[in-house]
Amino acid sequence: MSEKLSHLEGLARLTRENSDESRQNLLREVTDMFMETPETLNERELAYFGDIMGGMVGQVESMVRQHLSETISSVSNAPKDLVLSLANDEVEVALPVLRNSAVLKDEDLVSIANSQSQEHLKAIAGRESVGSTVTDVLVHKGDNDVLGTLADNNGAEFSRGGMEKFFDRAKDNDDLSVSLVKRADVPTDLAQDMFWRVSSAMRERILNATEGVEEAQVDALLEEAEKWFAEQKGSAALTPAEKFIVRKDKMGQLDAALLLSLIREDKVPEFIAGLARYANISMDVVRQAFFDPESEKLTIICKSVDIDFDVFGEIVYCVNLNADTEDKDLEALLGVYQRIEAKTAQRTMRFLRTRLNLQSQ
């Protein structure tokens, strides 16, 4: 039997003493012994330490338990039952192990998140890495502080369902919306939906918040026309409409006048492909904008390439020719087109390109 194990057995006999001071001193001594070389302890020694510290942790005051939690939070082979006991303790005691202990696995964190306070959940949300099974629970049960911590944590992973729930919960929280849309792992469709449904002031905040990311990403955008089209569709061959637009572009004929003639002739696929190419944005975005009854997205796209007001007016009229849009709504839209600054629309488009580019990496 090792000298350390003999010493532990002797200490274990002291646990029968009843004074608070003696128990606290004993726990500190055992903890100090444990921390000397925890990585060298064998299974039997670890069990002894776990039994002694675990048996005493409920008999000492909060400050002592907090010190123990801080001390063992970085130890990868700390006794599991002891760590779990501390993690389920009052929040001041639980915080160090909840934030840092590698002993706690996803199933442990899920159990804690389902049974403990919002402060416990916030500590879990701030861990260096948080698995998707854990974030699912945090998104469902957490308050705004928990969600904010989670949104800012680049080490947090999300399931598709968890991310959708997260976006749904963020729809009435501007700060949370900004933090979410900034994340590189957000599915493009969710980021776009969030971006378009918030107020103009919120969009400006999002653009400002992502401005540092934009520059690097925009510089990396594809410049080769055929390559860009091909990558939008993966390895699939170009459609006839896309081939038509590529030819027009190579001939220097891709401009607002061509787009207007296409929509006048009701050549919708060619118009969508042409505007996508002209504005350097995904055809999926343009297609969504084209069929949006409010035409707000189409307004931003056209303004970003500075299409003439009169040309835009005819384009949007042709797009809405068969829709139920009232004249007063079209007039309001044209008013928006006059008021919005081209640089704001261009920053909006850079943001959307960034989201698409990040998603494809």
pLDDT block averages, 10 residues each, the chain of length 361: 55 56 71 75 78 76 88 90 94 96 96 97 97 97 96 94 92 83 79 68 64 44 43 61 85 90 91 91 84 81 90 86 63 83 81 60 50
- What pLDDT is stored for residue 109 in this prediction? 97
- What pLDDT is stored for residue 307 in this prediction? 92
Strand partners, 156: 130
- What pLDDT is stored for residue 206 in this prediction? 67
Q: Which of 161, 167, 115, 123 has the alpha carbon at shortest distance from 141? A: 115
Q: State the Cα–Cα distance between residues 293 and 211, nearest whole angstrom.
A: 30
Q: Could you give the angle at the alpha carbon of 90 between the alpha carbons of 111 and 112, nearest 5°? A: 5
3-state secondary structure 44-101: HHHHHHHHHHHHHHHHCCHHHHHHHHHHHCCCCCCCHHHHHHHHCCCHHHHHHHHHHC
* CATH number of the structural domain 3-185: 1.25.10
Listing DSSP states for 309-336 in one string gives HHHHHHHHHHHTTTS---HHHHHHHHHH
CB-CB contact of 30 with 1 (8 Å): no
Residue that has been written with the tokens 């400002």 in this structure: 208
CB-CB contact of 233 with 209 (8 Å): no
> Taking the domains of the chain in order of start, what are their residue ranges?
3-185, 217-360
- What pLDDT is stored for residue 107 in this prediction? 97
- What pLDDT is stored for residue 119 in this prediction? 97
- What pLDDT is stored for residue 218 in this prediction? 35
